[in-house]
Amino acid sequence: MFTLRWGTQLSQKLHPYQRKRTDAVPSTGSQRTLKVAVVGAAGGIGQPLSLLLKHHPHIETLVLHDQENVKGIAADLSHIDTSAVVQHFQGPKKLALALKGSDIVVVPAGKPRKPGMTRADLLDANASIAVAVANAVSTACPGALLAFITNPINTIVPIVAEILKSKAVYDPRRLFGVTTLDVVRSKTFLGESIGVEPEEVTIPVIGGHAGLTILPVLSQCDPPFDGDEAERLSLFHRIQEAGTEVVIAKAGRGSATLSMAYSGARFVDSLIRGIKMEGGDEGVVECTFCESDVSEAKFFASPVILGPQGVKEHLEIPCLDDLEKAALKCLIPILKKNIEAGIKYGQSAVVCGF
């Protein structure tokens, strides 16, 4: 029988990250049925992501939204012999209706990065999508867990936060930038280097979700990575530029879609595991980009424990060696600049009434 491997429980083998603080929240019980909406379901990430989510045993209703072509995709998915009911909505006027009552909204919508395209170019193309989704969520499902795949994550998430604040529905526990792909890539590349199955590798990836802001904490890898400095720097670079590796390989025909869809589905599963957490469960650990005070940056990708209300607990930044401390010092100013750009864009969008 075909099965999918979903998220990582805290009780499994993980590094003993020092806990920072806990926001206690009650359990919602294991019998809750869930409605999950995919915004951008017809795209290169949205289609395989929706396929993976159709298989999830705890999703009762899977909603697909896009600007076009979503009806056929919904019909295709609805023929799969799993119990999730597929609904579809098309066009900007149907966005709020599509999201109404959703427990989780995951957003892969947006233009992909092409060769020569900068993150600033992506922001110009995709920021309006973030604003539209944030506005729709504020009225249709303000209590939903909101996970953005749309790039550039470092700037998109702060934009969404500002829009939600303006609507008085912002809860930092519920807004996420999906950086799971950085962890997935790190596990894959380290598995190849160490000579073990990637599923056996545990590594936190912190910082942001673009270039030098991505910081794989190789010193905390389990099994240990004992490469020399040249090997470590090479691995650092490959993980940070893995997205560009795919863009170049696709020769102008897109960016990472299948690996991103897998990573997005894994993160959604972790959110679901958190929602369905029983009273005695400790929760689910994922690295994600969200608002916190674990670093000098207002938003930061780091390990969190997920619970029924989203982020249950922020974990301390893992112990860093000298090379990683230098990398963190380097990335913070870049990340702060990305975040500030997002805050300014979001505030401007509020003033202009977008």
Q: Is residue 45 part of an annotated ligand binding site? A: yes
Contacts of residue 315, defined as CB under 8 A and 6 or more positions apart, other chains included, come to 17, 18, 19, 20, 285, 294, 302, 303, 304, 305
79 is catalytic: no
What pLDDT is attached to residue 175?
98
Q: Is residue 322 part of an annotated ligand binding site? A: no
Q: Is residue 326 part of an annotated ligand binding site? A: no
Q: Which of 101, 30, 93, 117 is nearest to 63 (CA)?
A: 101
Q: Is residue 180 part of an annotated ligand binding site? A: no
What pLDDT is attached to residue 354?
72
- Cα–Cα distance for residue pair 164/344, rounded to 1 Å: 14
What pLDDT is attached to residue 12?
37
- Please give the chain's pLDDT, 354 residues, in tens: 334 544 444 333 444 443 433 333 333 344 448 999 999 999 999 999 999 999 999 999 999 999 999 999 999 999 999 999 999 999 999 999 999 999 999 999 998 766 666 667 778 789 999 999 999 999 999 999 999 999 999 999 999 999 999 999 999 999 999 999 999 999 999 999 999 999 999 999 999 999 999 999 999 999 999 989 899 999 999 999 999 899 899 988 888 999 999 999 999 999 999 999 865 567 799 999 999 999 999 999 999 999 999 999 999 999 999 999 999 999 999 999 999 999 999 999 998 877
Q: Which of 181, 176, 238, 235 is nearest to 205 (CA)?
A: 181
- Residue holding tokens 């939204």? 65
Q: At residue 333, what is the residue type?
A: P
Region 34-178: CATH code: 3.40.50.720
Q: Is residue 22 part of an annotated ligand binding site? A: no
Cα 244 to Cα 142, 143, 165, 211, 254, distances in angstroms: 35, 35, 33, 9, 10
Catalytic residue from among 56, 209, 237, 314: 209
> Domain locations in the chain?
34-178, 180-335
What pLDDT is attached to residue 113?
67
- The domain 180-335 having CATH identifier 3.90.110.10: the answer here is yes
Contacts 24+ apart (CB under 8 A), 113-118: 113/151, 113/243, 113/247, 113/255, 114/247, 114/252, 114/254, 114/255, 115/247, 115/248, 115/251, 115/252
- Cα–Cα distance for residue pair 213/210, rounded to 1 Å: 6
Beta strands in 145-262 (DSSP E): 145-148, 175-177, 205-207, 214-216
